[in-house]
Structure 1
């Protein structure tokens, strides 16, 4: 029987030794520390008793084990006593994890169940509910070579920063026929930067006012317009916001002609400052979450309420890496209506009336990881993350569209639409910062009807592309390596 007692004692002694080390780590490493309940067992033992506490009574300890135990003296009382909050140092979380690992290694538990996982909101976006809302005030600002009329024509409705998600986009007046479809699907704030140099300014404002007064009410309710023009191409007259808002359009006349027109920009051969317009639209968004997109990409329906509901659910991922939420993108035949739900989209994919975006132009640019898994996944109510990927390997040239926050980098404004690769700089920064791309299961974008194909060779544009490529590789990339660092898997 004596040998059995000794075997049990040695096993328990090893556990207690591990636990003691864990508690000492906590005490010596922190000014204040929440001591695990199991630690208190260590300090109730006395070498004079030669017995365990109540939980371990019946097993005698030899006298030479005394050095392993402590009287419950001032030292042990200090371990259990909390200190002033102001003395907590940055090692608290790390030490707490180390103590937990020691406890697990020892096989000792305090008997309490593991706490439930934090919600996605509390884990990844703890400042969401405390964000600061701001008004959309009309402001004129100069930005490099451009004048910007911020919040020039504001939406009728305003939203708290934690109340919705802003769809941010860009274009010129020839793209405004897309706004009605976007707003009817999005049902939330839309912020759009419009390039309107010289003679394009007047037709841009008249087109906006026509849309507000004569088309769907959602445009007036949700869309805020910001106008941009080059300092060398100032409009002849710029009405104030009050003057424009006081006008009333005659809806019985024909709408402005947006299609098959030669704009002032094209007449003058001006490049389209796509990233200036993108950044203006995003900076002016007043909500915490933003969705930077292109004006010819239409979102699936019911996204905003489903995403906000997803934030309340437990986050089961085991990382706290920065992350964004990706929309797969598709395109449909010109004669087809864009699908609104995933069920409709899958039917069109099966019948070959829809294909992945840019499949015939630049498949690596927008093909999502695990695309077949996304396609065959069972459609369930609500929204969730189907899988998590990174911009590396076969997807190192990926240009995803995603919901994020104002913490994500803006776009490089030295790049134009004509020069191509204008989203690659932002994607590079996300890659070197270790961003995760969480692909949503039931959300998607669909391009304005019409399958993209290669355009015939355009010598003038190819010259712009070559110049911008030299800028990217020869100047911007070395600059970004210094500013943001490098990773072997991250490319520009």
Structure 2
């Protein structure tokens, strides 16, 4: 049987041939009827009518063949997206499978009152790592991008917790794809735990869904059809913060790194970080041995083509222009960390991680969105903000600021965005025509952001002697913040009075932390 392209060419050639014959016979019959006026011309006219009928039949057959081929392609596409209740290969009624009751619970922040539900440990990792034995990389993806998590296994040496946002038509293809990854990708089944996130208004059919390990094995050498997502066409928001919170909540280790699947860490990040924490516990790092809350920031970079092997390689790429800090040309303030100009010149000891800089999230870094290693005790991400609306981590950063968290930037641990087509992105996001569709989501995020900031409490004065002059400090910090705004100019946040109030609250919290630290030092002396 001919393949589809050859069959289409054959039918096209046949239609052209018979069309040419009809035109030739039409011209001949018209010449005969109009000029010769013989009886034989009428016989030729009848033959032309029969020929025209046959050509119509050929055209109809070719269009029917086209429609039949199109239906076959649509059936093949639907076979990868059909719900589990309609496709036996991923349902609990398939051979060798058994039904299982999947428990869906509310999201970590909004709970049952929110519009999203989470199914924890749909595909749990075989190796369970708990406590301080490692650091869990917590990330999130949509159903059609699950394979991106496989690249993390080559660079991350600890467990991974992945939250996947899924639509009803994507559930079966996700289960098949996940079964293939757990069978064919080394380390995936051993170290990666997968959790499902969905909207209650578009809930998938979980009643007949089988665990991925019970599905029929697939040929690892044969690629699966590329999954197709309907989320963009339906203009559905991606609940990025729900997925972030779910992945972090499911982690079993004390320390977690909440990041994106496209951000690849430095090699042996987990082991090097735990060595640093061991030195802090032994009192060998007095700069980090403090009683106040702190998180450990990993600077984020983007590259032209290749990934750096270590910090020395990264420094060389930064000097040659092959790498820059992440979104330097798109959103300069988003990932510009304190001391970025000294990152390539400050000395470090290879293999021994130390603090590059220690700071608070304050002006001119009041819009900085760092990615850090922390614990599950840190504030959750606000689940009302979507990925399409941008700046989805700002409220969580504000909560860290108001709780007087210190930001410890590490010198040899970093994150690098996976190389993109075209290299380093240089088109600002707010002028990129490809981002125009996000305008409605950006406005919605801004409305949520304004309401969240308006409800933030003002830091209350403490009963300690160090805060007796709290009222005077408020007015002094207000003057300082006003001067900083006038000096920064373009750095002034776009949130208006809410952003200004936000900065003032963060400065007040930082002032309290510094003052209480000086008091504690005097009392200890």
Q: TM above 0.5, one fold?
A: yes
Residues 176 and 212 in structure 2, CA contact (< 8 A), matched pair in contact too: no
My pick for the range that moved more, 444-453 or 323-332, is: 444-453
Residues 193 and 278 in structure 1, CA contact (< 8 A), matched pair in contact too: yes
Which of 313, 319, 342 is the aligned partner of 2:311? 342
Match of 1:106 in 2: none
Give 3-state SS (helix, strand or coil) of 1:268's partner.
coil
Q: Distance in 1 between matches of 2:310 and 2:150?
A: 18
Cα distance, 1:190 vs structure 2: 0.4
* CA-to-aligned-CA distance 1:114-151 (integer Å, 9 cap, x gap): xxxxxxxxxxxxxxxxxxxxxxx974213321221111
* CA-to-aligned-CA distance 1:168-189 (integer Å, 9 cap, x gap): 0111123223212211111211
Match of 2:368 in 1: 398
* CA-to-aligned-CA distance 1:332-382 (integer Å, 9 cap, x gap): 11xx12223112211221221111100011111101100122222234122
1:444-459 correspondence to structure 2 within 5 Å: 444-450=414-420, 451-452=424-425, 453-454=427-428, 455-456=432-433, 458-459=435-436
Structure 1 residues 300 and 470: CA distance shift in structure 2, 3 A: same
Cα distance, 1:204 vs structure 2: 1.8
Which of 282, 286, 291 is the aligned partner of 1:320? 291
Q: Distance in 1 between matches of 2:276 and 2:168?
A: 45
Give 3-state SS (helix, strand or coil) of 1:339's partner.
coil
Which of 314, 326, 343 is the aligned partner of 1:357? 326
Query: Aligned pair 1:191/2:167, yes or no?
Result: no
Match of 2:265 in 1: 299
Give 3-state SS (helix, strand or coil) of 2:118's partner.
strand
My pick for the range that moved more, 311-320 or 233-242, is: 233-242
Q: Distance in 2 between matches of 1:447 and 1:265?
A: 24
Structure 1 residues 326 and 414: CA distance shift in structure 2, 3 A: same
Residues 272 and 417 in structure 1, CA contact (< 8 A), matched pair in contact too: yes
TM-score, scaled to structure 2: 0.63
Q: CA RMSD in A?
A: 2.3
My pick for the range that moved more, 264-273 or 288-297, is: 264-273
* CA-to-aligned-CA distance 1:435-459 (integer Å, 9 cap, x gap): 1100101010000112233321644
Which of 444, 467, 470 is the aligned partner of 1:467? 444
1:391-430 correspondence to structure 2 within 5 Å: 391-430=361-400
Query: Aligned pair 1:490/2:506, yes or no?
Result: yes
Give 3-state SS (helix, strand or coil) of 1:337's partner.
coil
Which of 442, 456, 477 is the aligned partner of 1:480? 456
Which of 249, 254, 274 is the aligned partner of 2:240? 274
1:158-169 correspondence to structure 2 within 5 Å: 158-169=128-139
Match of 1:148 in 2: 118
Q: Distance in 2 between matches of 1:316 and 1:357?
A: 30
Q: Distance in 2 between matches of 1:478 and 1:139?
A: 36
Query: Aligned pair 1:378/2:358, yes or no?
Result: no
Residues 393 and 489 in structure 1, CA contact (< 8 A), matched pair in contact too: no
Give 3-state SS (helix, strand or coil) of 1:167's partner.
strand
Residues 159 and 286 in structure 1, CA contact (< 8 A), matched pair in contact too: yes
1:53-132 correspondence to structure 2 within 5 Å: none
Residues 153 and 226 in structure 1, CA contact (< 8 A), matched pair in contact too: yes
1:29-40 correspondence to structure 2 within 5 Å: none
Give 3-state SS (helix, strand or coil) of 1:149's partner.
strand
Q: Distance in 2 between matches of 1:246 and 1:271?
A: 30
* CA-to-aligned-CA distance 1:153-212 (integer Å, 9 cap, x gap): 011111122211100011112322321221111121100111001112222222212211
My pick for the range that moved more, 352-361 or 457-466, is: 457-466
Q: Distance in 1 between matches of 2:250 and 2:435?
A: 35
Give 3-state SS (helix, strand or coil) of 1:369's partner.
coil
Cα distance, 1:253 vs structure 2: 2.0
Structure 1 residues 309 and 140: CA distance shift in structure 2, 3 A: same
Give 3-state SS (helix, strand or coil) of 1:165's partner.
strand
TM-score, scaled to structure 1: 0.67
Structure 1 residues 458 and 405: CA distance shift in structure 2, 3 A: closer
Q: Distance in 1 between matches of 2:166 and 2:363?
A: 40
1:432-451 correspondence to structure 2 within 5 Å: 432-450=402-420, 451=424
The answer to which structure has the higher helix fraction is: 2
Match of 1:329 in 2: 300
* CA-to-aligned-CA distance 1:364-420 (integer Å, 9 cap, x gap): 110110012222223412211121011101101000000001111010001101111
Count of aligned positions: 348
Cα distance, 1:250 vs structure 2: 2.3
Residues 138 and 241 in structure 1, CA contact (< 8 A), matched pair in contact too: no
Structure 1 residues 247 and 465: CA distance shift in structure 2, 3 A: same
Cα distance, 1:320 vs structure 2: 2.0
Residues 187 and 222 in structure 1, CA contact (< 8 A), matched pair in contact too: no
1:254-265 correspondence to structure 2 within 5 Å: 254-258=223-227, 261=228, 263-265=229-231
Q: Distance in 1 between matches of 2:239 and 2:438?
A: 15
Residues 193 and 277 in structure 1, CA contact (< 8 A), matched pair in contact too: yes
Q: Distance in 1 between matches of 2:346 and 2:218?
A: 48
Structure 1 residues 362 and 201: CA distance shift in structure 2, 3 A: same
Structure 1 residues 457 and 163: CA distance shift in structure 2, 3 A: closer
Residues 228 and 277 in structure 1, CA contact (< 8 A), matched pair in contact too: yes
Residues 166 and 289 in structure 1, CA contact (< 8 A), matched pair in contact too: yes
Give 3-state SS (helix, strand or coil) of 1:365's partner.
coil
Structure 1 runs not aligned, ≥5 long: 1-136
* CA-to-aligned-CA distance 1:315-335 (integer Å, 9 cap, x gap): 3127422100010110011xx
